[in-house]
Amino acid sequence: MLLRLLPAIHSPADLKALPIEALPELASEIRHAICDQVSRSGGHLAPNLGVVELSIALHYVFDFGHDRLLFDVGHQCYPHKLLTGRLPLLANLRKRNGMAGFPEPRESAYDLFSVGHAGTGIPTAVGMARGDLLNNEGWSPENPNGRRVVSLIGDASIVNGVAMEGLNNAGTLKRQFLIVLNDNGMSISKPQGAVAAYFDRIRLSHSYTEFKRAAKELTKVIPGGSVFSEMYHRLGEMSKAMISEDAWFEKFGLVTVGPIDGHDLPTLIDFLNEAKHLDRPMVLHVKTVKGKGYSFTEGDSCTFHSPAAFKVEMENEGCRVELKKSGRSFTTAFGEIMVDLMNRDPRIVACTAAMPDGTGISKVLKAHPDRAWDTGICESHALDMMAGLAKTGWKPFFSVYSTFLQRAFDQCFQEVSLQGLAVRLCLDRAGLVGGDGAVHHGFCDISLLSVLPDAVIMGAMDEASLAAACTFMADYDKGLTAVRYPRDSVSDMFADRPCPPFELGKARPLVVHDRPDLAVLGLGVMAIEAMRSLEHLNGHSEYKVSVYDARFAKPVDKELLKELLGRGIPVVTVEDHSIRGGFGACVLEACNDLGLDTRLVTRLGLPDAWIYQGERGEQLAEAGLDPASIARVIRGALDRTQAPVVEVVKRPKAGAARR
């Protein structure tokens, strides 16, 4: 497809110069550009295709160089980025020097927050609305040059507890404040819960049907659009009629309008123009289709929520889409492990918080629908629910991204650990996550959980060890347990060896010498990276390096530490977790308690700096955790010619200034 309009959009001012009649063509070009790039690099596809017209209309009506646009989650920001002059960055989507997959203030002043977690859009928007009022910069009829505030949120995100808290406070604002509810009936998967059912009823309601019929009849009496002002007036009257006295959002003190068609550009623009001049908090309910524009994305928006690279081949009766294969993932392996565990143990139950495909629980939901649940985007509730199940004698497994576990730490503390309940955490996306970047790195789960008395924290280095860890957790009933594993393919390095069962606080030897010159303790997949680092010691055959799969960050293998450090053997710890409060820190604490020489311990981990989007291998190298970097540290420790040091990543220089 030849892009005619999009390359000329360098800022929203260029968009505003286009006539409304040209906007559908621009929408088509944006969809083509996004789909073409995601097919090459992977990324969030269906969420962005669904908000193309909505993004165009928002920028056509508002001036977000001055006004405020706050995203919730942010994985639907690609059209917004293209409309704010970032088409040149699209070719390197989710790569180090390209377009971030989420809003990123370093990239553009049009992005106000780095966003990757659900529920935050409304609360941060409320904060900016209050701040603008305090600065005498808020829009009002008396201050027509002030800033307006818009928050864009999805129907699945709005049930998040943080979003509800934001709604509760938004209703107290005495100024313009617009919440655009993008209702596509989906999150990453089908939304769950009573509020989702409420939205389903609204979509099927008589008022919505009558509104669409009335709008269609209205267009019949307008000759060639020449009486646009009359249409605008009539639409205004209809919008007033659509404000339902018993609408759910009205209970929060919010004027509620909709739902309206989120792909009808003239209607969107008209309603947004009305909302723009309302000096009260308002919700505009917009109905969209996730994956809009392509049959394969509309028909399977779950698969194409965030696909890997893919290829579309046209056939006689449509098209065939082939997703790029990248090896067997930890997520896939985990799903099958859980199904097997639940087949063997009828007391095991499982849940996830809106991530059934992303965590592998989708397989469990099909195999054991009576013992597995998707709670929707509410990690805190999900963990409390698991605590309740544990209290009643079940064996609950909560599968969650490491980055999202942070939102349920209070529940780990209060309802699980403090009660001595055996809840099992399966932490997908632990460590560096690649293209999703800083908003999704699982960099602090050990530091969070290790403060909880009796918590057990493990790392899985491959599929067999993940299965062994899950088996250990299923049989461990003394308290909270967790196993962490990355967004990566499982290694087959040790596929030909039997995997011994997990024993509490015991490491697994991988390469052992009677009198090693140095020992490396790798947690989880870092044990594999440590093994690969030995290949970089070629030319140093005199070095004898033992490597252990540490397995446990808490409790660490104290007997092994006494054996190694008690004989004066240097130890290098390696982890894909923050150097602060991680596995290495737990080792140092244990050594201190045992009276061992901590000067013999060198720690490698994620530096005290943010690591942004890119390939996971690039990120590991930046953190000094790739095999070559580990080998350099080993040589430095063995040669005794330099003190072993951890290479710290310098913060990149700030890009566009925040407003």
Model confidence pLDDT, tens digit, residues 138-179: 999 999 999 999 999 998 888 888 999 999 999 999 999 999
What is the distance between the alpha carbons of residues 405 and 226, in angstroms, rounded to a whole number?
56
Write down the residue that tokens 């919505």 correspond to: 208
Task: List, edge to edge, every strand of the sheet that includes 545-549.
Answer: 508-511, 545-549, 518-522, 571-578, 601-606
Domains of the chain in sequence order: 6-295 (3.40.50.970), 330-484 (3.40.50.970), 508-639 (3.40.50.920)
- pLDDT reported for residue 131: 96
Model confidence pLDDT, tens digit, residues 493-504: 999 999 999 999
- pLDDT reported for residue 322: 67
**Amino acid residing at 285:** H
Contact by Cβ (8 Å): 515, 565: no
What is the distance between the alpha carbons of residues 499 and 467, in angstroms, rounded to a whole number?
9
What is the distance between the alpha carbons of residues 199 and 487, in angstroms, rounded to a whole number?
33
147, 290, 371, 554: which one is catalytic? 290
Highest mean pLDDT among 27-36, 286-295, 540-549: 27-36
- Chain-centre distance of CA 590, in angstroms? 34
Q: Kindly report the number of other CB atoms within 10 A of residue 608's CB atom.
A: 12
pLDDT of 537 higher than 90: no
- Reported as a pLDDT band with limits 50, 70 and 90, residue 479 is very high
- pLDDT reported for residue 204: 37
pLDDT of 370 higher than 90: yes
- Reported as a pLDDT band with limits 50, 70 and 90, residue 432 is very high
What is the distance between the alpha carbons of residues 535 and 389, in angstroms, rounded to a whole number?
48
Q: How many residues appear in the chain?
A: 659
**Catalytic (active site) residue 407:** yes
pLDDT of 655 higher than 50: no
Contact by Cβ (8 Å): 544, 597: no
Model confidence pLDDT, tens digit, residues 444-464: 999 999 999 999 999 999 999
**Amino acid residing at 632:** R
Q: Which of 234-243, 254-263, 345-354, 369-378 has the lowest mean pLDDT?
A: 234-243
pLDDT of 193 higher than 50: yes
- Across the chain, mean pLDDT equals 87
**Catalytic (active site) residue 506:** no
**Catalytic (active site) residue 379:** yes
The residues pairing with 284 across neighbouring beta strands, listed in sequence order, are 180, 257
Model confidence pLDDT, tens digit, residues 42-63: 889 999 999 999 999 999 999 9
Strand, coil or helix: what is 48? helix
Query: Taking residues 206-224, what's their average pLDDT?
Result: 44
407, 484, 551, 635: which one is catalytic? 407
| pTM of the predicted protein model | 0.84
The one-character DSSP state at 601 is: E
Helix (H) or strand (E) holding 183: strand 177-183
Helix (H) or strand (E) holding 518: strand 518-522
Distances (CA, A) of 23 to 6, 8, 212, 383: 10, 13, 21, 45
104, 379, 575, 622: which one is catalytic? 379
- pLDDT reported for residue 340: 97
Percent of the chain's residues with pLDDT above 70: 85
The 8 Å CB, 24+ separation contacts for 139-143 are: 139/67, 139/175, 139/176, 140/175, 140/176, 140/279, 141/277, 141/279
Q: Which two tokens stand for residue 73?
A: 């989650």
